Amino acid sequence: MAFGEVIGQEVVKEALGRAVTVGRVCHAYLFVGPRGLGKSSVARNLAKAVNCRERGDGWEPCDVCPSCRQVDAGNHPDVRWVEPDGASIKIGQVRNLLRDAALKPFAGARRVFVISGADKLTAEAANSLLKVLEEPPTFALFVLTTAFPDAVLPTLVSRCQWVAFRPVGQEVLAAHLERELGLDPAGARLFATLSRGNPGLAREMAGSAALAQAVGLVREAMERLRASDGPGGALVAFEVAQDLEAFKVDGLEILDLLAWIYRDSLVQALEAGDGVRVGIVEAPESRQHPARLLAGLRHIEEARRRLRAHANRRLVFDVLIHKLRTAADEVIF
């Protein structure tokens, strides 16, 4: 996988790409950002780029020369990865690594040391690494990664070039998820939003059986509500309320998912472009779709508020689903 295939992170890729192209790669970088944003992928690509034999004038590694292949396979003699051994990265691990740092590269141009989870370095290990970073060996390139920069020894941080990884734009991520995982547009938008622009987390969510079950449940609930116009409608609504209320998965509240679906449908309806100013004017009959979705969203927010206030869960769902019956027709999901 090349730099260009890391999703988002344009600022990071441009800065590192420029450094590679002009031959001014630093001795030490600190990659900062939550798990899932591509820190390891970028570190791997940087290791490939500085050692690639076929890179030419550009900054992308060729991905096919023996050096690139070895980095990808994890057996390049000049590229080492260090990860926590149990709960921490210990002094012995760092000593091993530092012995090699002073040597000339075996095969490539730079010896690259990726220290994954720099916040897990023990005080001893961090101080040992610091001594080397104070006078870095000519051929060494250190990449430290962390999701918790506050927990990294401050003097170590000050020796590194800080590189911030940020959430990916949700449209960019959704488009990527559609292509990569073959998700439908609504599903791709859902995971892009719920993961807050985190590609790694979005992939995990897309593969989560519990979340898939929740999505299926809500989709089915909407279908049943749409079909519940007739005399037995109230009964159907009670059944739907019971099914949704009974759904329990750690860390996932079905109302959060429902709120997302209404919000997303509202955005879709507005983007479809009849220019209704929802919430400011009462929409006329022919343009009532966004208004009904907005009303639905308000009902869901009210239900969430009541649940937080420890109202009776079953009652909250009964009331909510009865109110949502009128808006169910407008949900695009």
Residues forming contacts to Zn ion in the complex (CB under 5 A) are: 52, 54, 61-62, 65, 68
Give 56 or 251: the residue with its C-beta nearer to Zn ion.
56
Give 62 or 267: the residue with its C-beta nearer to Zn ion.
62
Please tell me the distance from the alpha carbon of residue 322 to that of residue 47, in angstroms, as a whole number. 58
Least Å distance between CB 109 and Zn ion?
Answer: 12
Please tell me the distance from the alpha carbon of residue 149 to that of residue 31, in angstroms, as a whole number. 9
Long-range CB pairs of 195-200 (<8 Å, 24+ gap) are 195/36, 196/167, 197/8, 197/167, 197/168, 197/169, 197/170, 197/173, 198/34, 198/36, 198/37, 198/167, 198/168, 199/7, 199/8, 199/36, 199/37, 199/38, 199/168, 199/173, 200/35, 200/36, 200/37, 200/38
Give 54 or 184: the residue with its C-beta nearer to Zn ion.
54
∠ Cα 43 47 53 (to 5°): 150
Give 55 or 189: the residue with its C-beta nearer to Zn ion.
55
Q: Which amino acid is at 50?
A: V
∠ Cα 133 135 139 (to 5°): 85
Least Å distance between CB 66 and Zn ion?
Answer: 8
Give 59 or 260: the residue with its C-beta nearer to Zn ion.
59
Least Å distance between CB 106 and Zn ion?
Answer: 16
Least Å distance between CB 69 and Zn ion?
Answer: 8
Least Å distance between CB 55 and Zn ion?
Answer: 6
Give 62 or 194: the residue with its C-beta nearer to Zn ion.
62
Least Å distance between CB 147 and Zn ion?
Answer: 29
